[in-house]
Amino acid sequence: MAPVELGRSAFILNPLLLTLASKCEVARCSCSVVTPLVEWIPAARSSQLKQLFKNALCYAIGSAGLFPVFRRIFAGRAVIVMFHEIQQDCRSELKTGTSVELFEYSLSWLKREGWTIVSLEECLERLARNDRSRRYAVLTFDDGYRDNVSVALPILERNNAPFMMYVPTAALTRTMQSWWLGLRELFRSREAVTIDAMGVRFRCPDLRSKQVALGKVDEWVHQDYGRAAALATTFENAGISMSSLNDRYFLDARALQSLARHPLASIGGHTTSHQALANLDAAAARTELVDNRNYLEDLLQMPVRHLAYPYGSCGLREGHLANEAGYVSAVTTRHGQLSDDRIDRFALPRIGVSSAFDSESSFAARMNGVQLAAQTLLARRPHRQGVEDASRQVRPTAG
């Protein structure tokens, strides 16, 4: 079987697959058997199976001692790490955030592996002057959850770790349509859930089935954010109040004012109502950006210079609008690391961490560039397939 051509990463493929085969107790299988598993990932219907496979792959690579190889080739000069909730009881919240254990591991791993945790401002400054003395990590928290202060802050203080929190206005004013919190409340409190807008009824008596069902509805909304409004009737019929959930989970204005004075904290914008900016017309998107920045600066009496796009929804237009609104950087949810000073400050990639899909080994793997390596492999497949198809079309028939 011919190796897949990947330029500088080609030599990694066969050892990686052989290691995976060994760890999965199929060491007698050839690479031709294991390769279809790698190619199967994008087409897998079950996200749970796909994640299990990814975690097994990450564990195999780490156990084989291949992380340094990936790090040398694929890891960037800096990374922005994305968190949302840091949960004391991750199971009761259906593993929708990051457990305390995984959060603590993430910080200890960064320090142990030589990543210096710095503020976003310092990271961008060092990249601009092409400082290659070490690798840098930035910690970011989206939405302004209460547990970022009650749970995460003491851990951040023990590690002397600066961080950025991106806050939407509507979280503070309790007007945000936080449909993801509504869905979680719906599934965690019931063994059978009907989503009228989908025309689907889920039976979910245990944690695993609740996670799977919640994931399906979450994916349905993410395919079209306009669908979130269609969940209002379901929430109302279930007696779920968005305002009450916002009050339970998000910081209030006074708590944010107190946090903003903390020497490790920086506060960034996250729009007024947490809508997907790419779905709005230019005037509405501009208003979301400007009003949120003005609100936060008035509340905190300090400049707000950095932005996170809700859902990572952005393109060139949103970058221009963010710049016009007075921001100097904007982060996305696109996976990636920062490699040099030639970066788009208004489309900065991040690496998200969540207990729903991360383990200690998968966190280490992604920080070492394994996911980027996989993306490189998969990106080459369509081109390779096209070349092979063209070759078959021009190949003379036997006669």
**H helices present in the chain, as ranges:** 10-23, 31-40, 47-63, 67-74, 100-112, 120-128, 147, 153-158, 169-173, 179-188, 207-223, 232-237, 242-249, 253-260, 282-300, 316-324, 360-367, 370-394
Max CA pair span of the chain:
83
Give the phi and the psi of residue 265 in degrees, each rounded to 5: -95, 145
Distance CA 120, CA 162 (A): 9
Tokens of 276: 């997907």
Place of tokens 């859902």: 311
Distance CA 156, CA 104 (A): 9
Please state the pTM of the whole predicted model.
0.81
What is the dihedral angle through the alpha carbons of 338, 326, 276, 309, rounded to the nearest 10 degrees? 30
User: Which residues have CB under 8 Å from 61's CB, separation 6+?
Assistant: 16, 19, 20, 67, 70, 365, 370
Residue 361's pLDDT is: 82
Domains and CATH numbers, the chain: 77-176+250-363 (3.20.20.370), 179-244 (no CATH)
> Please, what are the averages of pLDDT over each run of 10 residues along the chain (399 residues)?
36 43 36 32 47 65 67 78 97 96 96 95 92 91 98 98 98 98 97 95 96 96 95 96 97 98 98 97 98 98 98 95 98 90 90 86 80 68 48 39
Residue 25's pLDDT is: 37
Q: Quote the radius of gyration of the chain (alpha carbons, Å).
A: 23
Q: Look at residue 99 and give its three-state secondary structure.
A: strand
DSSP character string of 180-219: HHHHHHHHHT-SEEEETTTTEEEE--SHHHHHHHHHHHHH
Give the phi and the psi of residue 398 in degrees, each rounded to 5: -70, 140
User: Which residues have CB under 8 Å from 319's CB, separation 6+?
Assistant: 330, 344, 346, 347
